[in-house]
Structure 1
Amino acid sequence: MIPRINQVLQLLRNVERNLFHNVFGGPPRELALAYVHEKSPSASPSKFSIKDIIGDGILLAVPKFRRTIERRWKRKYGSPDYELKTIVPKTNIKVCQDCGHHHEKGRLCENCYTKIKKETEEIQAKITEKLGINPVEQDVVVLYQGETLPDQPKEFWKGKRIIEMKKERPQWFSKNLLQKTTQQPSKSTDVKPTDLA
């Protein structure tokens, strides 16, 4: 009895679908009615507030679920099932000529940079201690222990400030780093093209 009822219901569905398709040109569209209850206007209209717009909160476009470590590794390294991203060895590693540490070509040696940064911070602390935090408009000459002022005319030292460090100059910290260049700035306005494809 039940299988026959199912067959009859299926037959009626097919007839209804074919009838709507032939008459209206497509499957039946459902109609939905909604009842909206309107509040009666209150005696005193409430003031507009930003809470009416925002409500309880704002939904941001953030991931709803965390990626598992397998998915993260598949995105990073690939997978034999999809695309295997092989780990390519770096060929742009070189040895620093000053300290012997390894670093990438086109980048500063991290070990040398750390030493220079530490020495520079000590010099800046000494300048701040002696001259204060006001802007320093005159040149500052840094002298390490055992160093004397070079023989220069009095006009050269006019307006310069001398900072004395109470330690010996590091071997890697050359005196030439503190001297201004003797090369005159170029007055040429021609720009040479570089890195042309």
Structure 2
Amino acid sequence: MLPRFGYMLNFLKTIERNVFHMFGHPPRELALVQIYEKQIPHPKKRFSIKDIVGDGFLLAVPKFRRTIEKKLKRKFGYPEYVWKMLVPKTNIKVCNECGHHHERGRLCEHCYKKVEKETKEIQAKIQEKLGNSPIEKDVIVLYEGENAPNTPNEFWNGKRVVEMKKERPQWFSKNLLQKSTQQPSDSTDVKPTDLA
């Protein structure tokens, strides 16, 4: 008798729930409820460079732009103190070979360009004949009309000869790359250096 009564009670509850649900009423039973609480805004933490860098260090950087006046002063100087503009050079001399002007203590640019051009031609000829393999042995360059020097066969062991199909320039000496023949001296005499 009790089980049938329980079935009937459950059946009636189901019908009641469905009827209430059709008309939009909430079901009359326990349910989980979420209460929405407005969050209290926390005070924003101030941004600090220490958060990024941590224990590191920053390089010194300028805080402000350098003005045009200061730029020009650094570049050209200031007339009352140091004036860098329009200072005549007194260390100019004329090259004995080509007649061009250059600074004393420096190579003449015009002569150097000739040497650079000739050197590149020699390098191209060496690369054409010997390839890109590393050059571990001496290379002797012979120009048109030149013969190999009369030296013993031991001198030519392991050396490579490259022939240039043009005459040797006048400024390019034959013994330019030869080692000095002067033997080191065993003398202990002191020679004067400031002779007139």
Q: TM-score range by the shorter chain?
A: 0.5 to 0.7
Q: Which has the larger radius of gyration?
A: 2
For residues 126-137 of structure 1, the aligned pairs below 5 Å read 126-137=125-136
For residues 54-133 of structure 1, the aligned pairs below 5 Å read 61-63=60-62, 64-65=64-65, 67-68=67-68, 70-80=69-79, 82-83=80-81, 85=83, 87-133=86-132
Provide the alpha-carbon RMSD of the alignment. Answer: 3.8
- CA 1:100 to 1:59, structure 2 compared with 1: closer, same or farther past 3 Å? same
- CA 1:102 to 1:125, structure 2 compared with 1: closer, same or farther past 3 Å? same
Q: Could you state the TM-score of these two structures normalised by the residue count of structure 1?
A: 0.57
- CA 1:188 to 1:123, structure 2 compared with 1: closer, same or farther past 3 Å? farther
Q: Could you state the TM-score of these two structures normalised by the residue count of structure 2?
A: 0.58
Show the counterpart of 1:174: 173
3-state SS in 1 of match to 2:176: helix
- Structure 1: state its 5+ residue gaps: 1-34, 39-51
3-state SS in 2 of match to 1:176: coil
1:117-149 deviation digits (Å, cap 9, x = unpaired): 221122122112211232222211101122221
Paired amino acid for 2:129: K
1:139-169 deviation digits (Å, cap 9, x = unpaired): 1110112222122222222221100112221
Give the percent of matched residue pairs that are identical in Structure 1 and Structure 2: 67
3-state SS in 1 of match to 2:161: strand
Paired amino acid for 1:131: L
1:74-122 deviation digits (Å, cap 9, x = unpaired): 3333344x53516432211111111111111211112222221221122
3-state SS in 1 of match to 2:171: coil
